[in-house]
């Protein structure tokens, strides 16, 4: 698995203040028992770039953990909204809303700590980062931003520096990989593949 020291996880409060959270994953449990889990753990030999995984339900665990807190898998509904933003919710969402959901940081020992925050920033190796936000309490849609979610107090130049594009790779009906890429990295790749003609 990836080294925990290479991952920085930060909770963001309503004022935009950051505080470090010891977490291997983020768990959102809805009132009807459906759940979403976001994890950033990868095997060291995984050929894919550092990324996060979104699970409808829970990440598979050992038998003891499954018996103590059983959970079934749920399909995912994924909506790309912009090059740096996708939303995800369990399917079927029905009348679910984030207003009645419980949000937890889960450590490597499967211990749960309730999070009182608006979002969680996950900084991975290589400068890749994500912000997972659950501000829209009227729906069950959780937002995933490449880089950071823009804040009104930031200058446009700062927003540009903090924004990363996203790539989505579905692995199963209930699992998706989400990668982030710096905009400069994408521009460089596009230029090599499609050189401009003067």
Other beta carbons within 10 Å of 27: 23
Report which of residues 198 and 145 the model is more confident about: 145
> What local confidence, expressed as pLDDT, does residue 39 receive?
93
Does the pLDDT at position 143 exceed 60? yes
101 in a domain, yes or no?
A: yes
1 in a domain, yes or no?
A: no
Q: Which domain holds residue 173?
A: 8-61+70-191
50 in a domain, yes or no?
A: yes
Give yes or no for a cis peptide into 5 (omega within 30° of 0).
no
> What local confidence, expressed as pLDDT, does residue 70 receive?
62
131 pLDDT tier (thresholds 50, 70, 90)? very high
Tens of pLDDT along 106-124?
988 888 899 888 899 999 8
113 in a domain, yes or no?
A: yes
180 in a domain, yes or no?
A: yes
Other beta carbons within 10 Å of 87: 17
Q: Which residues pair with 26 in a beta bridge?
A: 38, 105
Does the pLDDT at position 194 exceed 50? no
* Segment 167-175 mean pLDDT: 90
CA distances 97 to 66, 102, 192, Å, are 25, 11, 44
Closest CA to 130 of 19, 28, 46, 12: 12
Count of structural domains within the chain: 1
Report which of residues 36 and 33 the model is more confident about: 36
Largest CA distance in the chain: 65
3 in a domain, yes or no?
A: no
> Nearest-5° angle of CA 33, CA 34, CA 40?
125
163 in a domain, yes or no?
A: yes
pTM over 0.85? The answer is: no
């Amino acid at each position: 698995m990836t080294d925990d020291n290479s991952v920085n996880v930060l909770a963001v409060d309503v004022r935009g203040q950051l505080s470090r959270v010891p977490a291997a994953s983020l768990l959102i449990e809805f009132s009807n028992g459906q759940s979403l889990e976001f994890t950033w753990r990868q095997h060291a030999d995984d050929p894919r770039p550092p990324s996060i995984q979104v699970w409808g339900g829970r990440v598979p665990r050992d038998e003891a953990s499954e018996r103590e807190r059983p959970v079934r898998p749920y399909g995912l509904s994924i909506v790309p909204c912009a090059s740096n933003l996708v939303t995800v919710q369990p399917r079927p969402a029905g009348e679910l809303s984030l207003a009645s959901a419980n949000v937890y940081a889960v450590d490597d020992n499967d211990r749960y700590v309730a999070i009182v925050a608006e979002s969680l920033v996950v900084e991975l190796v290589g400068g890749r980062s994500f912000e997972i936000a659950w501000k829209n309490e009227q729906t069950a849609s959780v937002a995933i931003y490449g880089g950071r979610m823009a804040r009104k107090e930031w200058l446009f130049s700062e927003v540009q520096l903090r924004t990363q594009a996203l790539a989505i790779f579905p692995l199963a009906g209930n699992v998706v990989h989400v990668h982030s890429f710096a905009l400069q990295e994408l521009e460089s790749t596009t230029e090599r593949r499609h050189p401009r003609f003067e």
